Each structure stands twice: as C-alpha cells, then as structure tokens.
Structure 1
C-alpha cells in the first residue's frame, strides 16, 4: 500500500481538478465574501479558493461551484454561510507573535486603575488573546484576575479551538521554559503531545463571534487597548477607514491600538495617530 496518496497529478505538474470552477464562479465568490466579511480576494487566490471550498462541495455531493453558489444564495439565512466564511478566512497566528508589542502593553497597563480591559479583534485560534492574558498576569500579579481580554473573530471554527485552549507541545515549546511551566498543563494519556492553557489564564479570556462589518457590534467599551493585527490587510481602504472610525470611541482617551507589522493606518483615518512601531493612539 502506498504511504502517500493525495489525488492525481497532471502532466503539467498541477493537481487535477475534479470540480468545475468557472471564471464567473470565482468572480461571484469574491463578491460574496467581500459583502459578507469585507475580505478582498485577488486573482492569485483562485487556487486557495478552490482547495478550501472544494470540501464544502464534496460535503454536499456537488461537482460544480455554480450549483453550490446557487444553493447559498437561495438560502440567505442558512448555516452554510458560516461554513463558507470560515473556509475563506485565514488563521495564521502564534503565541507572542510580533513580540515587541507585549512589553509595550505591559508598560501601558502597569499602574493603571483597574480593571484592565483589552479587545483582541482577530482572536483566530486563541494564541494571541492567551498571550495578552499571560502578559497581564506577568505584569499585574494578583490584580490580573480582574482583567478581561474580550476576544472576537468571524471564524466560528477557530473560536471553538480557541475556547478549548489546547495546543500541540511543539507549538508551546517555542516559548521560554518559564512561561511554559507557569501557563500550561502538559497532556497525558489521550492528550499526550498536547498542552492546555491553565484555567486561571483561560478565565481571563472570553470568546465571542463578531463580524467587523456587522452594522452593530455586541461588545461595549471602553478598552485600555485594542489589538487588531494582520486582519486589515484583507480589507480595502474604505473598509479599513470605517472600522477605524468605529474603534476610536471604544478606546479610552489614552488607549492604544496595536496593528500588524505590514499595516499602516496613518493615511487611512484621522481618528488615530502613530505613536511608535505599529502602535497608535486616538487623535
């Protein structure tokens, strides 16, 4: 029996497609995910779209993307819309990613009147909000248990994984040993090879689904800091500007907005001014 089998390969070197994706289908998918989540998909994302949505077509026994799209649009309230959005959402994250932000957060919250509230606007599978909670625990000591990290994401599958707080050991072991011992429990038996975030850290974080394009947001400010990192890059400039305008009143007057390393909000909105490396304050 062969050790690997993942489809047949064409003579041109690419994986043969067994499902029909026309130019019109791809254009319509781009329109729908933009309307639904503000995500802009360029032509070079076509292979990604095929591979991710192909699972949904096979789940429904369909062979043409056009039939799948017709089914979606005939049922505007169907649960499949959630699966469609989840499939096209990118969840690239890690513990203490873009590490220079966390000492800045620690300096910002140290000595502030509590309780501290932080909004993580792109929680993904939980690594970022748990990193924020660990930073608060290291900085605030016993007072950290009154702090809250409100964590939202449009991807409900990612949020389910985040709520579980369970990660492969090889991912956790990228942290320094002191943090691993302090903030994680090692799995045994069926959970061997895994680690779980300790209950006292998990208790500081709350997860809820939220679409940044929704006309109303379920959460309320004010927040000491908002982390919205590496999500604005998927939006066009007008969408970015609208979201930034909505962020501003949810921040305390001296609150901080943290952006991703490839994001620059200085020329998009007058609501914020650059304070340092991808860190903003209210204008």
Structure 2
C-alpha cells in the first residue's frame, strides 16, 4: 500500500495499547493529555496521516513516529491531535481590561522610550494576537513610533503559517464589529487580509510550551488562554512557574475561562479580575529556577 492507494482508510480503530502509546508520545512531546475515551477522535484525525503515508495500521505509524526519522511526522501528529478553536476578541472582558487597566501605563512608558512586549502563547491562527494589535492601534495613534511588539507562538506550524499570512475567510470575521472589519481588513481574492500595519506588530513563531523557550527578555503581558486545559496538573504547575519567570514584576497573565492560576501560599500571582492575574511587584521567590 502507498499514498496513492485510496483504499487505505484506517477503518480499524487503534487498540487500547496503541491509544496508550499515542497518548504517551503526545504527552512526552507536548505535555498534552488524551483522555482514555478519545479513541474515535484519534482515529478520525490520524486516519488521514496513515493514508498520506501509505501505512496499513497504527502500529506502523507509532513505529515511524518513534524512529530517528520520525521528527517531521511527530510535528504532523501534534498538529492533527491539537484543537484550534479561536475567533477575534474571544472572551472580550480581557480586551476591556487591556484598554482600561493594563495598556495605558505601558503605553505611557513606551512614549518615554521603554519597550513593551506582549506574548500570545498558543496563538492558533492569530486572531488573539491581532485582536491585541487592534486594541493597541485604537489606543495609540503614534503606535508606529513606539517600541511595542507582540510575539505569537503555537506548537502547530500550520496555524503559525496561517497567522503570519493574516488572511481569513468571512466566517471567523463575523465576530468583529462591522466598523473594525472595515478599518482593519482589506478584500483579498482568498478572503480578507489584516492591515499591514498590524501585521508588522506581530511576529509568529513555532514554539512548544513543553520545550525550551529561546526568548531572553521578559514580557509585560502574556495571553495563554484555553491551552493548559489540555495539560495534566504537574505540567500546568510547571507552566505557571515558567510564566512567572517570563513576566516582568507587576506584569499581567490572562488565561482561559475554565482555567485557574494558583494564588495561594507562595504563588507570585494575584487574582485581578475574571481569569486575569498579576505578578507580584517582586516577581517569583528568590532562588527559583530561571527559565531563560
């Protein structure tokens, strides 16, 4: 069988042992947990990969991903098994908080020569990062003269590439007010493309939150929303610790509607609104590991 054979359908679902192996691979590579009852999801999403590769079964696929030559397919597997649900100004209360509380003092500092750095972690196709960019554009007519930048990262290279292109179809744009859509998007043969001025604000990079973070500086604001729900508790705790190291003292962390950052005990984070957290003025406890 090969990639040209249309009869390779992977109709037989993975066995419990194969599902366990796939789950272990995904967890080791990306920190993501697949629930035991997700056999049909794994089957439906990986069947396309088996067909593309001309593989007859999941055992062969697992062997490939674990082989020295399997790194490229590992990325394809992670892309297939991660969920990318997003739209512009999702959980709008966070963007209201940006406008009223987080950004005004940062923009004031930027006008005095400081830099402002914002990270959209788990950015999917870029709607979150560009929503932040639209808020910045509305608040600062002099934005082009300020040292303000947004880093947008995701483990999936497919969505990173799409975000970098800034090209969207009408469905995802339906959540935008008509006036904002008119100001920030232009017609394109393949949809609507975001304004070049906003695209220049955002740098898209592929990044596994479970791996090494190459960024050296700290961020004033981090968005990491609806990402850690796919991680187990120990992985979540490690991620909160790493964010505490990556955020400047008194910087902000925004998480998803069903996610919570620990604030008790020695946690450096303080709850500051609905799924909104602020790092203490002193940052993490002294002696904690630096992740950069």
Provide TM-score, normalisation by structure 1.
0.88
Cα distance in 2 between the residues matched to 1:49 and 1:173: 30
| 1:252 aligned counterpart, secondary structure | strand
| 8 Å Cα contact 2:14/2:39 also seen in 1 | no
User: Are positions 1:83 and 2:76 aligned together?
Assistant: yes
| 2:38 aligned counterpart, secondary structure | helix
Superposition map of 1:1-283 within 5 A: 18-75=11-68, 78-107=71-100, 108-112=102-106, 113-114=109-110, 115-143=115-143, 146-187=147-188, 190-191=189-190, 194-214=191-211, 216-266=212-262, 270-283=267-280
Instruction: Give RMSD over aligned pairs.
Output: 1.9
| 1:281 aligned counterpart, secondary structure | strand
| 8 Å Cα contact 1:259/1:278 also seen in 2 | yes
Runs of at least 5 residues in structure 1 that lack an aligned partner in the other structure? 1-15
Higher alpha-carbon deviation: 268-277 or 160-169:
268-277
| 2:238 aligned counterpart, secondary structure | helix
| 1:67 aligned counterpart, secondary structure | helix
Cα displacement (A) at 1:143? 2.3
| 8 Å Cα contact 2:79/2:157 also seen in 1 | yes
| 8 Å Cα contact 1:130/1:201 also seen in 2 | yes
Cα distance in 2 between the residues matched to 1:26 and 1:44: 10
| 1:30 aligned counterpart, secondary structure | helix
Runs of at least 5 residues in structure 2 that lack an aligned partner in the other structure? 1-8, 281-292
| 2:142 aligned counterpart, secondary structure | helix
Cα displacement (A) at 1:251? 1.2
Per-residue CA deviation, residues 223-281 of structure 1 (Å, 9 max, x unaligned), is 11100000010011111111111111221211110010000112688131211110011
| 8 Å Cα contact 1:146/1:204 also seen in 2 | no
Cα displacement (A) at 1:76? 5.8
Provide TM-score, normalisation by structure 2.
0.86
Cα displacement (A) at 1:135? 0.9
Higher alpha-carbon deviation: 73-82 or 133-142:
73-82
Report the counterpart of residue 7 of structure 1 in structure 2. none
| 8 Å Cα contact 1:18/1:63 also seen in 2 | no
